[in-house]
Amino acid sequence: EAGVAQSPRYKIIEKRQSVAFWCNPISGHATLYWYQQILGQGPKLLIQFQNNGVVDDSQLPKDRFSAERLKGVDSTLKIQPAKLEDSAVYLCASSQGTGGTEAFFGQGTRLTVV
Amino acid sequence: SQKIEQNSEALNIQEGKTATLTCNYTNYSPAYLQWYRQDPGRGPVFLLLIRENEKEKRKERLKVTFDTTLKQSLFHITASQPADSATYLCALETWHAGKSTFGDGTTLTVKP
């Protein structure tokens, strides 16, 4: 079974530029998550999709972050414009559902904003 | 406010010993508690899940306990090996939220 695929693996941009990350979840997984992980901290949920609908985006900075999940499969997360404090690893995860089901994580995209 | 606390200090132990990691929480009523392992440059990998009505769960050399009165979970690795060196994250999921909130992790180093 293929895992969660993310790209790019690394990205360096200047502040105020825009950037997009892509995620392909495990086939058949209805739930997709985007997390932000700052060095030395645990993953923080940005947005959760159930199929192509948003379940929770309470911690997504909506003035600069946006996300979509096309046809309930792939997802993109965009930052525009980026700030220095956005430097982090962006992790995508998927699961068959919620309620105690395990989440499978991709390797993440390491973003550096200079 | 809601808080999840894991051992703030890194944990260093000798090979063969039992590692015990702690996850404490406040202002949560978790339905499930999960433990994940994260290696440098990789995403977290699921290890074990324990439900609120379960006291203990085991998987090979791993054991998790869950005390909802103390609001604490303990994660044990017996007969530890250098390959167990990693950061271990606990995550809580409540009934109504349907999402997991992670602690900041504990870094374990097992020395040969």
Binary contact (B105, A42; C-beta < 8 A): yes
Contact B102, B6 (CB under 8 A): no
Angle at B87 between CA B83 and CA B90, to 5 degrees: 125
- pLDDT at residue number A1: 60
pLDDT the model gives residue B99: 79
pLDDT at B102: 95
Helices marked H in chain A — which ranges?
none
C-alpha B102/C-alpha A58 separation (Å) is: 16
Q: Is B34 on the interface with A (CB under 8 A)?
A: yes
User: How many residues appear in chain A?
Assistant: 114
| Local confidence pLDDT in tens for the 112 residues of chain B | 778 999 877 999 999 999 999 999 988 888 899 999 999 999 999 999 999 999 999 999 999 999 999 999 999 999 999 999 999 999 998 877 677 899 999 999 999 9
Residue B99 near residue A48 (C-beta atoms within 8 A): yes
Q: Are strands B56-59 and B3-6 parallel, antiparallel or unpaired?
A: unpaired
**pLDDT for res B30:** 86
Q: How many CB pairs under 8 A join A and B?
A: 59
CA atoms within 13 A on the CB side of B71: 12
Q: For chain B, say whether A79 makes contact (Cβ under 8 Å).
A: no
Beta bridge partners of B60: none
Model confidence over A61-97: pLDDT tens digits? 999 999 999 888 999 999 999 999 999 999 999 999 7
Using CA coordinates, name the residue in chain B closest to A43: B102
For residue A54, is pLDDT > 70?
A: yes
Of A41, A56, A102, the CB nearest to B104: A41
